[in-house]
């Protein structure tokens, strides 16, 4: 009888403790969501005709409107709008930097005093660490999912698995759910530090979701510096080069024509004139 009573008391205490832990964990997640959601935005991408091309996610990394997202989210954009957690909208002025190979873009919103997330250290992340993702899957802003780091892929995902291409920047594998529209979402620790940027999934199995280590973003920021110019979405670096070449060619052609015209008039002016006899 005594043993049964003791066992019952132990079971009751165990259940109470587990409930308390679960409650505390839930409270931490709620607090984390409330604190970080204002820093995460829904990005709506349009073409030159104003047609919606798709949506993605981004997050502020500075109070003056720098936003991190994936390159593929804004690659073909003519116009991008950021919708904040409170429903307000900001115009995205253009790109500050883009790395197509590693699939990261840093864009600039027209705003100030914006809530930035803290960038963590992805080199300290290990399998089993808990992570939280806040994003906009299918345009559903403020969606929070929780999981763990299931693997660290130092070389990313190779063609033998991805089939279509080498995905070398897909370095952090997680179980937290991401979907189309989640691209560019911050992958955070429970402390709210960003350790990776959600990039994609492998659809042939479950929970094969990936993020790009935040060190890639830090490297880009260091190279850009604080005064990087904004490149409008209608313009790409390649287009800028072609445009400059076209302008140079037009100027050169104009100079050649001007020189030829001047030579023609100079030759006519120097030519001896015949006089009529009287």
Q: Which residues are catalytic?
A: 72, 103, 183
- 67 in the Ramachandran plot: left (φ > 0), alpha (ψ -120 to 50) or beta? beta
Interatomic CA distance for residues 257 and 1, integer angstroms: 111
- β-pairing verdict for 193-201 and 118-119: parallel
Count the residues in the chain: 278
3-state secondary structure the chain: CHHHHHHHHHHHHHHHHHHHHHHHHHHHHHHHHHHHHHHEEEEEEECCCCCEEEEEEEEECCCCCEEEECHHHHCCCCEEEEECCCCCEEEEEEEEEEECCCCEEEEEECCCCCCCCEECCHHHCCCCCEEEEEECHHHCCCEEEEEEEEEECCCCECHHHHCCCCECCCCEEECCCCCCCCCCCEEECCCCEEEEEEEEECCCCCCCEEEEEHHHHHHHHHHHCCCCCCECCCCCHHHHHHHHHHHHHHHHHHHHHHHHHHHHHHHHHHCCCCCCCC
Q: What Cα–Cα distance (Å) separates residue 144 from each residue in 29, 37, 271?
A: 9, 9, 86
């Amino acid at each position: 009888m005594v043993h049964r009573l003791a066992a019952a008391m132990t079971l009751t205490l165990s259940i109470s403790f587990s409930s308390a832990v679960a409650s505390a964990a839930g409270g931490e997640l709620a607090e984390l969501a409330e604190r970080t959601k204002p820093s995460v935005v829904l990005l709506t991408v349009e073409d030159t005709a104003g047609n919606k091309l798709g949506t993605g996610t981004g997050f502020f990394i500075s109070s003056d409107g720098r936003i991190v997202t994936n390159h593929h989210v804004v690659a073909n954009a003519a116009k991008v709008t950021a919708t904040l957690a409170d429903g307000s909208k900001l115009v995205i002025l253009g790109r500050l930097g883009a790395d197509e190979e590693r699939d990261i873009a840093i864009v600039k919103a027209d705003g100030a005093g914006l809530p930035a997330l803290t960038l963590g250290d992805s080199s300290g992340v290990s399998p089993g660490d808990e992570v939280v993702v806040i994003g906009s899957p299918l345009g559903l802003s403020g969606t929070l999912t929780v999981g763990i780091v299931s693997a660290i892929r130092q070389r990313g995902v190779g063609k033998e698995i991805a089939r279509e291409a080498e995905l070398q920047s897909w370095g952090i594998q997680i179980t937290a759910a991401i979907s189309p529209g989640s691209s560019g979402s911050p992958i955070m620790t429970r402390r709210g530090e960003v350790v990776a940027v959600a990039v994609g999934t492998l659809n042939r199995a479950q929970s094969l979701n990936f993020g790009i280590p935040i060190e890639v973003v830090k490297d880009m920021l260091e190279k850009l510096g604080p005064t990087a110019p904004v490149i409008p979405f209608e313009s790409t670096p390649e287009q800028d080069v072609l445009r400059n070449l076209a302008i140079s060619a037009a100027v050169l052609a104009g100079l050649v024509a001007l020189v030829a015209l001047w030579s023609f008039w100079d030759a006519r002016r120097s030519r001896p004139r015949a006089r009529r006899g009287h």
